[in-house]
């Protein structure tokens, strides 16, 4: 499976201690250099800088040959979308709303941090209640009520399955 990632899902998963689910779910994850640069920003927490300073073997950096022109998106999002298009990725991991809309408008399948966590929970790789609790403790911008609803749906699905 070819998976490209924007910075937000990587940051969120590092912040909550669940970055290890990505290779379990997807094998290799590919990022453009613009995303690596975002992760190296001195304003990032030490855990994120440590992660990108010594990236795991499953994280591959690849430069897109061309970069699309997509107004209103930051360079990292544009590079991730461009790379996903170029390599015909199966999935783009992205959270930002405008980036998600731009990707889907170009026929790219997307998943965000919450969807990734739900998929990992479905495969018994983590406890979703615990993961959502950790998300609530970060600066990840999402409604806590929405997380509660998604958790309830997950638990109901699990009960039925």
Instruction: Please state, in angstroms and as integers, the Cα–Cα distance from residue 53 to each residue in 11, 48, 63, 93, 138, following that order.
Output: 14, 8, 18, 21, 22
Question: pLDDT-based confidence at 160, cuts 50/70/90?
Answer: confident
Q: With contact defined as beta carbons under 8 Å apart, do 128 and 149 qualify?
A: no
pLDDT, tens digit, 9 for 90 and up, residues 82-127: 999 999 999 999 999 999 999 999 999 999 999 999 999 999 999 9
**Taking the model in full, what pTM does it have?**
0.94
Q: Whole-angstrom Cα distance, residue 131 to residue 118? A: 9
Domains plus CATH for the chain? Answer: 3-114 (3.40.50.1010), 127-160 (no CATH)
- Furthest C-alpha separation in the chain: 47
Tokens of 23: 């290779």
Q: Is 72 left (phi over 0), alpha (psi -120 to 50) or beta?
A: left
The model's pLDDT over 5-60, given as tens digits with 9 standing for 90+, comes to 999 999 999 999 999 999 999 999 999 999 999 999 999 999 999 999 999 999 99
């Amino acid at each position: 499976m070819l998976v490209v990632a924007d910075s937000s899902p990587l940051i969120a998963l590092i912040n909550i201690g669940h970055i290890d689910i990505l290779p379990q779910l997807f094998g290799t994850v590919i990022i453009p250099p613009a995303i690596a640069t975002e992760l190296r920003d001195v304003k990032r927490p030490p855990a994120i800088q440590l992660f990108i300073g010594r990236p795991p073997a499953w994280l591959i950096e690849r430069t897109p040959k061309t970069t699309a022109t997509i107004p209103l998106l930051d360079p990292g999002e544009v590079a991730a979308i461009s790379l996903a298009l170029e390599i015909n990725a199966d999935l783009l991991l992205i959270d930002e709303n405008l980036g998600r809309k731009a990707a889907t408008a170009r026929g790219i399948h997307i998943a965000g941090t919450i969807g990734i966590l739900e998929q990992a929970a479905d495969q018994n790789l983590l406890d979703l209640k615990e993961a959502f609790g950790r998300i609530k403790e970060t600066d990840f911008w999402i409604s806590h009520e929405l997380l509660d609803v998604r958790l309830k749906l997950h638990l109901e699905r699990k009960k039925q399955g």
